[in-house]
Amino acid sequence: MQHLPIRVLVVDDSDIIRRLLTEILNSDPGIVVVGTAADAFEAKALVNKLQPDVITLDVEMPEVDGIRFLEVLMKFRPTPVIMISTLTRSKADITLRALELGAVDYIAKPIVDDIAVFQRYSGTVINKVKMAAKSHVGHATKPPKAPVQLASRTNRVIAIGASTGGTEAIAHVLQQLPASHFAVVMTQHMPAGFTTTYADRLTRNTGFTVIEAQGGELVRPGYAYLAPGGYHMRVKRKGNELYTEVFDGEKVSGHKPSVDVLFDSVASEIGKFAMATLLTGMGKDGAQGLKNIQNSGGFTVAQDESTCVVFGMPRAAIELGAADAVAPLDKIGETLIESLAPKSEN
């Protein structure tokens, strides 16, 4: 059966960027740009008229900015959206807000409207639009329950890995956990400059103090340690203590930071006392690492398809037999905690 091309609406106040994105996307036979808009008012009319499969949306537009337009769009006509943003520290919080509102992903917009700069990312632009077309948007995620109160401290370490859709998924998992009982180490695929802002945002919105790891931090309950953008993070045992280690290097499983790098270290340094969950994301980073944690005796959970924005990484882990449990996003914390309950002998 022949598949119809992905119909894209490009929304950007820059005529140059509109033309560049149109040229890049139309170069792929599986994509067609059905319209372009220079502002939110024009975009609203075209969304209703054209009903696109995917929208690329500029963060900064006159009068009504991209965030406000996105907020309204997700309430009345949920559509996969990729934000076009200059990836600077000052714009990171705005882009994270867009992901919180339901945007699937974001693409770097060149500070200078240089065709050579933008065309270097043409493959990334095309791949992200194709991924967005397959993503799940508009499904209601239940608000997280209050963290479960445990009778005694566990001092367990939970490892979390995520990619596309993961910024909000990680927040939901952390909100489900009693911070005083767990330490968390986590890798989310993000560029440099974003992870500091993201860590601050998680600290405000969860019970954990979230730290962008620099390396050498003592891993302790109540804290969550996030791999910094552009660097790998692993854990290292020194005596009875566990520390973060941050280092540069080649991409692993196509990414830096890589979930596999973190998970592999958790398997070797924590073993049967480890717990880990692999959340929404494109590709397969973290699948083998999750299997290694399982093989070392740790407990592993994969997010289920119905609540993933992109069911790539969890699917790869499930197919590998790496998940002891598969759970919807709002049950992952509960599933991890239930694994600590004494097993009845029948």
Token pair listed for 146: 């209050």
- In the set 172, 189, 232, 255, the catalytic residue is 189
Q: How far apart are the C-alpha atoms of 155 and 73, rounded to whole Å?
A: 43
Half-sphere CA count of 160, side-chain side, radius 13 A: 30
Q: Which residues contact 298 (CB under 8 A, 6 or more apart)?
A: 266, 267, 270, 271, 272, 273, 274, 275, 276
Q: Is 139 a catalytic residue?
A: no
Instruction: Please spell the DSSP secondary structure of 159-191, one letter per residue.
Output: EEEE-TTHHHHHHHHHHHS-GGGEEEEEEE---
Token pair listed for 195: 């992870």
Could you tell me which of 50, 60, 118, 133 has the C-alpha nearest to residue 91?
Answer: 60
- In the set 163, 253, 258, 265, the catalytic residue is 163
Token pair listed for 135: 């993503």
CA 18 to centroid of chain Cα atoms:
26
- In the set 53, 58, 285, 304, the catalytic residue is 285
Q: Is 285 a catalytic residue?
A: yes
Could you tell me which of 62, 70, 60, 59 has the C-alpha nearest to residue 106?
Answer: 59
Could you tell me which of 93, 49, 92, 46 has the C-alpha nearest to residue 69?
Answer: 46
How, if at all, do strands 182-188 and 81-85 pair? unpaired
Q: Which residues form the catalytic set?
A: 163, 189, 285
